Amino acid sequence: METKIYTLDQIDEAAAALKKGQLVAFPTETVYGLGADATNVEAVSHVYEAKGRPSDNPLIVTIADVATLEKFAQPLSDQVKLLIKTFWPGSLTIILPLKKDALSKTVTGGLDTAAFRMPANAATLSLIRTAGVPIVGPSANTSGKPSPTLAEHVYHDLKGKIAGILDDGPTDVGVESTIIDMSTDVPTILRPGAVTEDQLADVLGTVQGNKHKVGANETPKAPGMKYKHYAPDAQVEIVDHPSDFKAAVDWAGQQATKVGLMATDDILAKLDVPANVETYSLGADVAAASHLLFAGLRHFDLETEVATIFTQGFSNDGLGAAYMNRLNKSAGGVHFTNNKSVDK
C-alpha cells in the first residue's frame, strides 16, 4: 500500500479515505493520531494490526462536536458538561459510560465505557466533520515506541500500512492528552497530560490522581496503563538531579559506544561533553521538554546509533507529572544515580 502525505488543502481526499474504511493519521495539539471510522469494526481492527497493538488496549474516540458524543455516551452529568465547557477542544480525554451497544467492543477493549476527546486542531476537526463519522485516535506509531510529533515520525513507523497522513507540521504539546475517568464515583486521572490535576480539581473539586497502572490480568480503561510505551531501541536512563549529570557524562566518556544526552540548555551549557556523547536540547523548561521529549527519543532512534540515552528528570507535579509519566515508561524505571543505573 502506498502511504500518501495529505496537505491541508486535501482534507476532502483524506476524509474520503476514512469513509472507505481506510486508515489516515491525523494531527492534534498533543501527538499525531491514527484515524479510522469508529463505527466500522473492520476498519478499527486494522488499527490494531497496523500498530501491533494488544486488542484489550482501548482506543480513544475522537470527535468534532458534543452532539456526536451524546449519540454514544449515556446522558452527560453536570460535571462532565463543565469539563467539556472548560477544556474542549483541548488536551483532555474523558471516559464515560456508553449507551447499550453504542460502540463495538473492538473500540472499547471489551468495556462498557469509552474514552472521548475533541482535539484543539482545526485541520482534524475539519477532517472529522467532512468524513461525517467519529474516528478512533490512538497515537500513530508502532505500539510501544515513542509517540509521533511529526508526520515524518508516522511515515517511518506506518508507511505501507496506512492510506495516508494529514500533515500539519509539528505538534504543540508533545505528550498525549490527560485522561480522566468520569464513569466512577470519584473522578480519577488515568493518564496525566497538559491538563493538570490542579486544573481538574479547580473544576471538579475532588479528583483521584494516581491510578496510572493496572495489573497483568486487568483490562485497562485507557491507553498507557498496562503495556510498555514510548521506548526507543536504546536504553533510556533518567538523571534526576542536575548534580548527577557530570557523573553521567564521565561514565559516558569511558564507553566504547556512543551515548545520547537529553537535557535543558542551562545544564548542557555547563557540561564538558566527550566526543562520543551526542546532545539533544530539551529547551528551557519542563514545558519545552514535554514538547521535545518524543522528538528527541526518535532522533536518537532514527538518526544515531547510541546504546544509552541519559534524559533529564523533572519534579513530578503540574506538567512535570505528564513528562515524568512518559519518561519513566520510556526508561522502564531505570535511573542513573551515583555512577550506576538503578531501578526505582
Question: Which residue numbers belong to the known binding site for ATP?
Answer: 53, 57, 113, 139, 147, 191, 230
For 31, which DSSP code? Answer: S
Nearest one of 52, 32, 43, 57 to 152, comparing CA atoms: 32
Bridge-based pairing of strands 178-181 and 92-97 is parallel
Got the DSSP string for 209-238?
-------TTSPPSSTTSSS--S--SSEEEE
What residues form DSSP beta bridges with 25?
Answer: 34, 165
- Detail the residues annotated as belonging to a binding site for L-threonine: 30, 117, 177
Write down the residue that cell numbers 508507511 correspond to: 159
| Rounded CA separation 184/90 (Å) | 22
Strands annotated E in the chain: 4-6, 24-26, 33-37, 60-62, 92-97, 113-117, 135-136, 164-166, 178-181, 188-191, 235-239, 258-263, 277-281, 306-312, 334-337, 340-343
For 150, which DSSP code? Answer: S
Query: How many other CB atoms are there within 10 angstroms of residue 134's CB atom?
Result: 24
- Which residues does 282 contact at the CB level (< 8 Å), separation at least 6? 262, 263, 264, 265, 288, 289, 292, 293, 296, 312
Q: What is the 3-state secondary structure (H, E, C) of 168-196?
A: CCCCCCCCCCEEEECCCCCCEEEECCCCC
Inter-residue contact 299 to 309 (CB < 8 Å):
no
Write down the residue that cell numbers 476527546 correspond to: 117
